[in-house]
């Protein structure tokens, strides 16, 4: 039988060279595969930002999320939240939790339809609904439900306020006279309110501001009290802040990261997605920046 000659072992030098070459090829492949692309950078940056946002949101609304997950058993804001736990309710819960030393109320118009006033529970848990703003007039027109809502709100013991929705393209004095003719304010009522949240399509911004000033002046002369100015925060800051300093402010701000009423706001409309028993659908909920005795100090004497 023919024997196969034994395989010669490579010399140490040759073995080292072979290993070196394999290592070079392997490292080359690694370097090629580990190249970072712009798409990858964007992807990882987005993930980092998303993680940071979720963490911030979780901390900002930690009490609300506990409520959302069912870990909060004290449902002290049940009348302000639907049975369905939505993110809007998480935010509402958090804001109410952080402003328990303040006074709460709502505002309504004919958009809420026929309100079942007798079903509204003013006292619920750790807070009460103490005041209500009712839309009375819209430009030179009237709110269809104002008279009925005004009457029922008083019978239920609410502190009442009436507001006028300002139409920028209608005569300001006619609008003021319409409000005066429609609304009879007396002792214990809140000052009149002007709701201004739109610029004009037909006149300059200066003309709009002049019209707003005429409305405010006419209404103040009639009732003997300075009106409250309502607007969205951005609109007020951009168009009204410089010329209308000194007015009580009722500001609408639904910002995700706004969780406490600011010092300069008398009233804060913090959501348009509240839920109150007796009111069908969503309703605006507001906070007064003070206590009930302080609220009573600004009422018409």
Determine the pLDDT at residue 290.
96
Sign of CA dihedral 93, 95, 99, 103: negative
DSSP state letter for 154: H
Residue 73 has pLDDT above 70, yes or no: no
Q: Give the domains, in start order, of the chain with CATH numbers.
A: 101-297 (3.20.20.80)
Tell me the pairing of strands 127-138 and 103-108.
Answer: parallel
List the beta strands (DSSP E) in the chain: 103-108, 123-124, 127-138, 141-142, 159-165, 193-195, 228-232, 248-252, 267-274, 283-288
- How large is the average pLDDT for residues 100-121? 94
CA dihedral over 232, 161, 186, 100, signed as positive or negative: negative
Angle, helices 62-69 vs 87-98, to 10°: value is: 130
pLDDT at 33: 53
Work out the number of other CB atoms within 10 angstroms of the CB of residue 152: 18
Range with top average pLDDT, 72-76, 78-82, 200-204, 216-220: 216-220
Q: What is the pLDDT of residues 47-72, one digit of tens each?
A: 777 776 555 555 554 444 444 443 34
Residue 121 C-beta-side C-alpha neighbours within 13 Å: 13
- Is 107 one of the annotated active-site residues of the chain? yes
> Which one of the listed residues 78, 130, 170, 197 is annotated catalytic?
197
Catalytic residue, from 107, 143, 189, 233: name it.
107
Q: Which of 171, 230, 168, 229 lies closest to 199, judged by CA?
A: 168
């Amino acid at each position: 039988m023919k024997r196969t000659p034994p395989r010669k072992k490579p010399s140490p030098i040759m073995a080292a060279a072979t290993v070196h070459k394999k290592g070079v090829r392997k490292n080359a492949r690694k370097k090629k595969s580990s190249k970072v692309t712009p798409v990858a950078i964007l992807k990882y940056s987005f993930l980092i930002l998303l993680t940071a946002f979720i963490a911030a949101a979780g901390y900002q609304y930690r009490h609300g999320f506990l409520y959302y997950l069912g870990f909060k058993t004290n449902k002290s804001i049940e009348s302000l939240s639907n049975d369905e736990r939505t993110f809007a309710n998480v935010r509402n819960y958090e804001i109410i939790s952080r402003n328990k030393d303040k006074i709460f109320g709502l505002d309504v118009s004919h958009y809420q339809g026929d309100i079942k006033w007798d079903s509204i529970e003013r006292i619920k848990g750790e807070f009460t609904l103490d005041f209500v703003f009712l839309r009375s007039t819209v430009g030179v027109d009237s709110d269809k439900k104002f008279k009925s809502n005004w009457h029922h709100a008083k019978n239920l013991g609410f502190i009442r306020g009436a507001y006028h929705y300002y139409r920028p393209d209608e005569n300001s004095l006619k609008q003021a006279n319409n409000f005066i003719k429609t609304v009879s304010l007396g002792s214990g009522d809140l000052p009149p309110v002007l709701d201004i949240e739109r610029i004009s399509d037909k006149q300059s911004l200066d003309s709009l501001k002049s019209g707003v000033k005429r409305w405010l002046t006419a209404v103040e002369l009639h009732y003997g009290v300075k009106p409250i100015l309502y607007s969205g925060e951005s609109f007020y800051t951009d168009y009204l802040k410089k010329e209308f300093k000194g007015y009580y402010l009722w500001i609408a701000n639904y910002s995700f990261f706004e969780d406490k009423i600011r010092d300069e706001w008398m009233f804060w409309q913090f959501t348009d997605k509240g839920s109150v028993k007796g009111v069908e659908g969503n309703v605006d909920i507001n906070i007064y920046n003070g206590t009930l005795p302080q609220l009573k100090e600004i009422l018409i004497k």
